[in-house]
């Protein structure tokens, strides 16, 4: 059924920076049919949503998340989870006591957090993907949920995890919005080449993507230098790992001279600048990747490594970190950053080519922010894109639509009971701590 959305400002995010003021968007069957400047009287009726003095823009894509981990938000402060030492110190002891029924409430908390901060699509990767999916489906978010695999060269673990990943991805085959992907935790580090070959074959057979941590440190390059005499990206390309949609999360230490190997492939460099900063890791080479023609996307990672899931915060952190590390103001422009968080994100999750813009044929995934909540310089002094990236809090997002369906209206998340989820999450954490105490472990 056709629906019209009207607002004082509509950001097409089309490259030239078109803003329709006022603008009107026609949506049918989850897709944008037309978009343009509204002329004449503002339409009214049951099939019209007039958002008034608001800015409408494409929804943001969180291309690297671990939704169940909001259960452990805060426990890693003072540690870097980008290192094995940090993981062993705070996460392993808790994850050892994590059971499937402790997953859904934290997924709901994370999905609520993402929706309330302007995310309309995300890529998840964790254990218990089958327990993540029902809550994500209820939220209305678009998602790629990767079945997390850690096999450490263990044949039995590999076979078990691959079978589970297969069953999960096949179970999601009929869902247009939420698809099952394959989630090797990290190539070479804890997924050995035999596992990688099987994971690639599985992704190819199912038409799924791969979601993997990459270059959080130099571990992959060190392994590949020792075993293959070549950098990790060269080895991945030779193995065919870049021929299927692949999210390479972090890319903090990827050698700049290797970046051209990613251009034109189906792999996306998904950066998380806040996590690089908080972990004391190098900044991913975003400018160099864009110049090399690499797809760059943005993520928030887990809320233990990071502190939240506000992609607006992540966008301006990307801009500031790129300027700071290069000594060059505006090293990555606001327009480029907004497109990384939208167009780049949709490319990373293997959406259609127009997705992430508001154009005929693109998915109707969009968000609205009241004009009063976007502090902005005078028109002519500051662009709207700059104000969105550098002045706007994701918490100001009021309305959100995915595939033509509202998932948040006037600040209220529609598909999830967030108060109940928060209460249940507290009970789940108390359960986790009690299990650790019973096992004689310290829940510090």
- Chain Cα centroid distance, residue 385: 20
Q: Which is nearer to Zn ion, 349 or 367 (CB)?
A: 349
Which among 59, 91, 89 is positioned nearest to 303, based on CA atoms? 91
Nearer to Zn ion, 35 or 268 (CB): 268
Of 102-110, 190-198, 293-301, 343-351, the segment contacting Zn ion by CB under 5 A is 293-301
Measured distance between the N- and C-terminal CA atoms of the chain, rounded to whole angstroms? 54
Q: Which is nearer to Zn ion, 161 or 301 (CB)?
A: 301
Q: Which residue is nearest to Zn ion (CB)?
A: 301
Tokens 């990688």 sit on residue: 196
Residue number, 12 or 123, with CB nearest to Zn ion: 123
Q: Least distance to Zn ion from the beta carbon of 224, Å?
A: 21
CB of 141 to Zn ion, least distance (A): 18
Whether 177 and 403 have beta carbons less than 8 Å apart is answered as yes
Q: Which two tokens stand for residue 300?
A: 């928030």
Count of positions (residues) in the chain: 444
DSSP 316-353: HHHHHHHHHHHT-TTSS-HHHHHHIIIIIHHHHTT--T
Query: What is the nearest approach in angstroms of Zn ion to the Cβ of residue 115?
Result: 20
Which listed range, 90-98, 185-193, 296-304, 428-436, lies at the site for Zn ion (CB under 5 A)? 296-304
For 140-227, where are the alpha helices, taking DSSP H only?
155-171, 193-206, 219-227
Which C-beta is closer to Zn ion: that of 301 or that of 385?
301
Whichever of 220 and 301 has its CB closer to Zn ion, that residue is 301
State in angstroms the smallest separation of the CB of 213 from Zn ion.
5
For residue 80, the minimal CB distance to Zn ion (Å) is 12
**Strand 405-409 with 399-402, pairing:** antiparallel
Residue 157 buriedness (CB in 10 A; 0-12 / 13-18 / 19+): middle
Nearer to Zn ion, 151 or 301 (CB): 301
Nearest-approach distance from CB 125 to Zn ion, in angstroms = 7
Distances from the Cα of 125 to the Cα of 3, 132, 181, angstroms: 34, 10, 9
* Nearest CB to Zn ion, comparing residues 345 and 415: 345
Q: With respect to Zn ion, which residue has the nearer C-beta, 82 or 384? A: 82
Question: What is the pattern of x (binds Zn ion, CB under 5 A) and - over residues 146-165?
Answer: --------------------
CB of 250 to Zn ion, least distance (A): 7
Distances (CA, A) of 231 to 46, 249, 305, 306, 422: 58, 17, 27, 28, 44
Give min distance, CB of 123 to Zn ion, in A: 10
Q: Closest distance between Zn ion and the C-beta of residue 344, in Å?
A: 17
Q: Is 270 helix (H, G, I), strand (E, B) or coil?
A: strand
Choice between 3 and 250, CB closer to Zn ion: 250
C-beta of 377: minimal distance to Zn ion in Å? 36
Which burial class, exposed, middle or buried, applies to 294 when counting CB atoms under 10 A from its CB (0-12, 13-18, 19+)?
A: buried
Instruction: Report if residue 219 touches Zn ion, rule: CB under 5 A.
Output: no
Binding mask of the shown chain, residues 297 to 316, with x at each position contacting Zn ion by CB under 5 A: ----x---------------
The 239-278 contact track toward Zn ion, x by CB under 5 A, reads ----------------------------------------
**Per-position DSSP letters for 393-411, written without gaps between them:** -GGG--EEEETTEEEEETT
The pair of three-digit structure tokens given for residue 16, joined into one six-digit string: 């030239």
Site of tokens 């940090």: 86
Of the listed pieces 45-53, 86-94, 294-302, 406-414, which binds Zn ion according to CB under 5 A?
294-302
Q: Which residues bind Zn ion (CB under 5 A)?
A: 301
């Amino acid at each position: 059924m056709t629906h019209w959305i009207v607002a004082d400002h509509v950001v097409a995010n089309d490259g030239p920076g078109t803003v329709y003021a006022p603008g009107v968007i026609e949506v049918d069957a989850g897709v944008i049919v037309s978009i343009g400047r509204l002329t004449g009287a503002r339409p009214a009726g049951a099939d019209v949503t007039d958002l008034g003095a608001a800015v409408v823009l494409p929804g943001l894509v969180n291309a690297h998340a671990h939704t169940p981990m909001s259960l452990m938000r805060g426990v890693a402060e003072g540690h870097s989870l980008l290192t094995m030492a940090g993981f062993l110190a705070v996460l392993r002891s808790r994850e050892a006591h994590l059971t499937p029924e402790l997953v859904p409430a934290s997924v709901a908390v994370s999905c609520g957090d993402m929706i309330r901060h302007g995310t309309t699509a995300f890529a998840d990767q964790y254990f218990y993907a089958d327990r993540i999916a029902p809550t994500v489906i209820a939220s209305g978010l678009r998602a790629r949920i990767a079945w997390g695999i850690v096999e450490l060269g263990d044949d039995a673990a590999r076979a078990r995890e691959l079978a589970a990943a297969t069953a999960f991805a096949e179970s999601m085959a009929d869902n247009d919005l939420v698809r099952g992907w394959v989630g090797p935790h990290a190539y070479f580090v804890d997924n050995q080449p035999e596992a990688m070959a099987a994971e690639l074959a599985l992704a190819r057979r199912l038409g799924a993507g791969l979601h993997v941590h990459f270059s959080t440190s130099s571990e992959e390059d060190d392994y590949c230098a020792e075993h293959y005499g070549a950098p990790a990206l060269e080895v991945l390309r030779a193995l065919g790992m870049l021929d299927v949609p692949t999210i390479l999360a972090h890319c903090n230490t990827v050698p700049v001279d290797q970046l051209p190997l990613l251009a034109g492939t189906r792999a996306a460099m998904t950066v998380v600048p806040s996590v690089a900063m908080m972990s004391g890791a190098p900044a991913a080479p975003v400018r160099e990747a864009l110049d090399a023609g690499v797809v760059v996307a943005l993520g928030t990672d887990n809320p233990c490594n990071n502190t939240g899931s506000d992609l607006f915060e992540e966008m301006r952190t990307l801009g500031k970190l790129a300027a700071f590390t290069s000594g060059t103001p505006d090293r990555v422009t606001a327009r480029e950053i907004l497109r990384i968080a939208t167009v780049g994100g949709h490319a990373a999750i293997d959406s259609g080519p127009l997705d992430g813009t508001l154009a005929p044929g693109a998915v109707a995934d969009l968000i609205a922010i009241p004009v009063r909540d976007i502090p902005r310089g005078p028109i002519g002094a500051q662009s709207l894109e700059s104000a969105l990236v550098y002045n706007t809090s994701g918490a100001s997002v009021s309305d959100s639509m995915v595939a033509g369906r509202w998932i948040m209206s006037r600040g209220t998340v529609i598909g999830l009971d967030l108060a109940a989820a928060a209460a249940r999450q507290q009970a789940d954490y108390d359960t986790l701590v009690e299990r650790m105490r019973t096992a004689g472990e310290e829940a510090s």
